[in-house]
Structures are given as structure tokens and as C-alpha cells.
Structure 1
Amino acid sequence: MKKLSVLFAAVMMVVSVGMAKAQKIATLDVIGVLNVMPEKKKADTDLKAFLDTKQAEIKKKADAAQAKFQQYQSEAAKKTAEENTAREAEMKKLSDEIQQMNDKAQKDFVAKQDAAYEPIEKKLNDAVSKVAKANGYDYIMDANSSAFVFKGGPDATAAVKKELGVQ
């Protein structure tokens, strides 16, 4: 029984020493850092241009389909039932093509976005890791997170920006 008490006391001492070690926590304005990175600005510009191009292509096709639809509606009374049925099938096909273009554009955009942002995220994460190690931070948390109730620790944003070479 005495050995058990000594063992329990030793375990409690080890646990309390481990808990007594204060952890250094810093915050980081991730969005603020990303918004000043030239790579992010270029990626955003490229992605916007890509999206604008895709939207213009889809709009052109949709406008052509809308004009054809209006033409078919105005001529419907003068056409036979078979011609109107064929025109309806053609309009359905055009509608499906536009929907497929939309779906493909979204998939292409997401893939392009992932490819563009991956090296930026890696660069940011590497800088954060360097700053954390250099300053002895155990944790660096996003300052924009709504999970924070209190932010009183050091802010690592300036150090990460310096590491990245951005202002």
C-alpha cells in the first residue's frame, strides 16, 4: 500500500510539472497576410480573368439560345406539330449544353483555384512554422476565428509578413 502511495505521488508530481509548463500561443491575421502576398494577388487576378472568360462563353451561348427560343415562340403558330416538337427537342438540347458548360466551368475553376493556391498555402505554412520555431510558440491561431473569446497573447502577423518579405 505504501508503494502505491509513493507511485501515485510520483505520477502526480510528473503530471503537475508537465501542466505547469506554460504554452506560448500567438495569433496570426491569416487573411491580412494572404491579401498582401503578391502571389495571392496574381492568383486572384488570373482566376478572375479565367472566370470572366468562362462566363462570357456561357452568356454568349445562353443569349443565342434565348434568341432562338423567342424566334421559335413567335413562329410556333405557323409551324406544324412535328416541327414544334423538333424545335422543343433542340431547345432542350441547347439548355442541357449550357448546363454542362456551367458545370464544367465550375469544376475547371475549382481545379484551377486549388492549383493556384496550393503553393501559396505551402509558402505561408512554411513561414508560420519558421516563425513559431524561432519565437518558441507552441500554437499560432488564426486571429479571424470566431472561436476566440480572448486574444491577449503575442501577434505573429508581423513576423510572418517579414518572413515572407511582404508588408
Structure 2
Amino acid sequence: MLKKIALAMLFILPMGVFAQTLKFGHFSSSEIITSMPEFTKAQADLQALEKKYTDEIKRTSDEFNAKYQEYQQAMQKDSLPQNIAERRQKELQDMAQRSEQFQKEASQNMQKAQSDLMAPITKKLDDAIKAVGEAEGFTYIFDLSRTAIPYVNDKTSINVTPLVKAKLGLK
């Protein structure tokens, strides 16, 4: 009987000690990232790139509209021979296809640029979180911006947002 109690204590005691050493934290990556100077620069770079694409799309759209209007006017006057009308119609179709292709490429390039610019920012944030987690002895640190966690008990989970900001040199 004494042996069974001792064996049970060997199993229960470590579980109690283990349960007491768990330390949970949470933070908001969106709050931290938006306060990083690297993010502000990345946003400015993305806006500049987007403006270049928007300007080019507008220029090609204006060019297409002008040619289309010219084509419509010529067709209304019945002043174009059939083969010239067909050639201009084909030219307009080609312009529309090129414009559509460019818009698609611009969208893909914007997504890639955003990903490329954000990668070092999120890595820097992740490194800071790991450093805070190791330094403070956390078992888990959850990002409330990236992970859907419906409830966080502030009595048992520590908000480490200020610690991560401090690690990154942010206010």
C-alpha cells in the first residue's frame, strides 16, 4: 500500500510542478508592425509602386479610349474600307488584351512586392518574440492578430506586446 502511494506521488508531484511552470503570453502583431519604421517605409514603397502601375494603366486606357473613339467616328461616317476597319478592330482587340495582361501582371507584382517587403519585417518581429519568450521563460506566446483565439484570460496570460516593442526599440 505504501508502495502504491509513493508511486502515485512520483506521478502526481511532477505534474503539479510542471503545471506551475507553464507561462503563457499574448501580443498583437498588427499593433507592433504598424509602429515599426520598416513598415512605414515598406508602405511608402508599395504606394509608390502602385502609383507607377496605376499611372501606366491609366495611360494605356486613355490611349485605348482615344483609338476606340476615333474608330467609332470613322465607322459612323462610313469612311473606312472594310479591310482597314477590320485591321483597326483587330488593333483595338490586341490593345485590350495587352492592357488586361498588364493589369494581371501588375497585380501579381504588387503582391510579390508586398510579400518581399513584409518578409524581413515579420522575421524581425518573430525574432523579437522568440527572444522575449526565452528571456522571460514563456511556454507559449500567442499572436492575437494572426490566430483566432476567442478568449484570453489576462490573469493567466501576460500581454507581452510592450516587451516585444521594447525589444524592437519601439515606444
**2:158 is aligned with 1:154:** yes
Q: Which moved more, 1:10-19 or 1:127-136?
A: 10-19
On the 8 A contact 1:27/1:151 being kept in 2, the answer is no
User: Where does residue 33 of structure 2 map in the other structure?
Assistant: 34
State the 1:11 CA deviation.
9.2
Match of 1:107, as an amino acid? Q
**2:63 is aligned with 1:64:** yes
CA distance change for structure 1 residues 74 and 158 in 2, over 3 Å: closer, same or farther? same
**2:122 is aligned with 1:121:** yes
On the 8 A contact 1:27/1:155 being kept in 2, the answer is yes
**2:91 is aligned with 1:87:** no
User: Where does residue 46 of structure 1 map in the other structure?
Assistant: 45
Taking the TM superposition and a 5 Å limit, the aligned residue runs for 1:76-115 are 76=75, 77-115=78-116
Question: With structure 1 as the length reference, what TM-score do the two structures score?
Answer: 0.85
Greater than 4 Å deviation, 4+ residue runs: 8-19
Percent of aligned pairs with the same residue? 27
State the 1:101 CA deviation.
1.2
Match of 1:150, as an amino acid? V
C-alpha distance in structure 2 between counterparts of 1:108 and 1:69, whole Å: 29
Deviations 1:13-64 (A, max 9, x none): 4884586345211111110100010001001101110111111011101111
2:142 is paired with a residue whose SS is strand
C-alpha distance in structure 2 between counterparts of 1:44 and 1:106, whole Å: 16
Question: With structure 2 as the length reference, what TM-score do the two structures score?
Answer: 0.83
C-alpha distance in structure 2 between counterparts of 1:70 and 1:23, whole Å: 71
1:26 is paired with a residue whose SS is strand
2:26 is paired with a residue whose SS is strand
C-alpha distance in structure 2 between counterparts of 1:114 and 1:83, whole Å: 46
1:78 is paired with a residue whose SS is coil
Gaps of 5+ in 2: none
Number of residues of Structure 1 aligned to a counterpart in Structure 2 = 162
